[in-house]
């Protein structure tokens, strides 16, 4: 490896960083902010956006508990595969059920791959005001049902590696807190 290549890829330690939280909590925004920072430091980074995964990898799945579990397991498999090959994988995906998230953590543990769970703990009232995709308005109008945290369950992590209250700090501050955790765990 040349010096130039070495400086561009200073760290080949992969990890999955799963950002869970309600719709419009700020998961994806924080993930992309952190991704830019990590890339700037020379890390290999991928963001597995939940909407993109639903369109390409999990097309055809609905929003039943079983389908949501299948979706999370598919994402977890891809994340672990990338992370085990030296990529920092940021996963801003709701993953509403604790057992689904725990299964992903277990897969990572079995493979010896680092996994961090980050709870973007934004209250539903704030999320419904943000309503990035108009889901809360559609649910309130009776156009959709099964909205996580409103009329479908969201099981918040009891002991996440980090809890971010995005409604009390800027995106940059939220990403910085997550970056600090990665440094603390020797992953950045």
**Burial 107-125, CB ≥16 within 10 A → b, else e:** bbeeeebbbbbbbbbbebe
Nearest CA among 76, 113, 96 for reference residue 25:
96
- What is the 3-state secondary structure of 57-93? CCCCCCCCHHHHHHHHHHHHHHHHHHHCCCCEEEEEC
State pLDDT tens for residues 22-64: 999 999 999 999 999 999 999 999 999 998 998 998 989 999 9
Is the pTM for the entire model greater than 0.75? yes
Question: How far is residue 36's CA from residue 55's CA, in Å, rounded to a whole number?
Answer: 24
In the predicted model, is pLDDT for residue 8 greater than 70? no
Residue 83 is predicted with a pLDDT of 98
State pLDDT tens for residues 83-101: 999 999 999 999 999 999 9
């Amino acid at each position: 490896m040349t010096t130039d290549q070495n400086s561009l890829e200073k760290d080949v330690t992969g990890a999955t960083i799963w950002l869970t939280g309600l719709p419009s909590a700020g998961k994806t925004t924080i993930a992309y902010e952190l991704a830019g920072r990590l890339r700037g430091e020379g890390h290999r980074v991928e963001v597995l956006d939940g909407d993109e995964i639903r369109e390409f990898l999990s097309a055809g799945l609905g929003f039943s508990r079983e389908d949501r579990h299948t979706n999370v397991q598919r994402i977890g498999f891809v994340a672990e595969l990338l992370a085990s090959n030296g990529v920092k994988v940021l996963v801003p995906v709701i993953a509403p059920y604790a057992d689904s998230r725990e299964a992903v953590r277990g897969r990572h543990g079995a493979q010896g791959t680092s996994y961090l769970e980050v709870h973007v703990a934004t209250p539903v009232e704030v999320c419904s005001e943000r309503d990035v995709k108009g889901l809360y308005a559609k649910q309130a109008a009776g156009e959709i049902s099964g909205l996580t945290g409103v009329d479908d369950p969201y099981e918040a992590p009891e002991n996440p590696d980090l809890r971010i209250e995005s409604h009390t700090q800027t995106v940059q501050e939220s990403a910085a807190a997550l970056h600090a955790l990665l440094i603390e765990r020797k992953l950045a």
